[in-house]
Amino acid sequence: MSSQEEIVFMKEAIRLSVMNVTEGKGGPFGAIVVKDGKIIARGANSVTSTNDPTAHAEVVAIRNACKELNTFQLDDCDIYTSCEPCPMCLGAIYWARPARLFYANTKVDAADIQFDDQFIYEEIARPVNERKLFTKQLLRDEAMEAFNLWKESNAKVEY
């Protein structure tokens, strides 16, 4: 059973998604970040209006929330999104480490209107050499320098 507060917050995420379509700013997706019962950030899909394929509602909301909180993690925050997150957004949400995630529409609902991410889920599960996107590893030994420096650094901020 959903609490009244959860319903109010989800309605705001949905309102953002509807407004985004009616204003022609991007896809039908909206998201908010809540902390201590207060909305601290909002986001709506702006992929086409900003020419940024990463400007999904959840990513925009996470960026805005982190800026507002002056942190790179959303500890004790909740994310409400108008649709089940795509693989990119789900990854970003896990990296942001919120306490909870709520969504309205499903990924099947999104696929029904031509926002189908199933191919990405399938590609991630494939061995690298079997993926549709040509992928080739280069210069691993040289790149390990940065990893080794990180491992030995006393100045790093772990996350």
Report, as residue numbers or ranges, the catalytic residues.
Answer: 58
> In this structure, what token pair is assigned to residue 59?
């990513």
Checking phi first, is residue 45 left (phi over 0); if not, alpha (psi -120 to 50) or beta?
Answer: beta
- Provide the 10 A C-beta neighbour count for residue 22: 9
Instruction: Residue 6: name the closest of 39, 29, 30 by CA.
Output: 39
How far is 118 from 37, CA to CA, in rounded Å? 34
The sign one gets for the Cα dihedral 50, 56, 57, 63 is negative
Integer angstrom CA distances of residue 159 from 20, 38, 97, 128: 33, 25, 10, 26
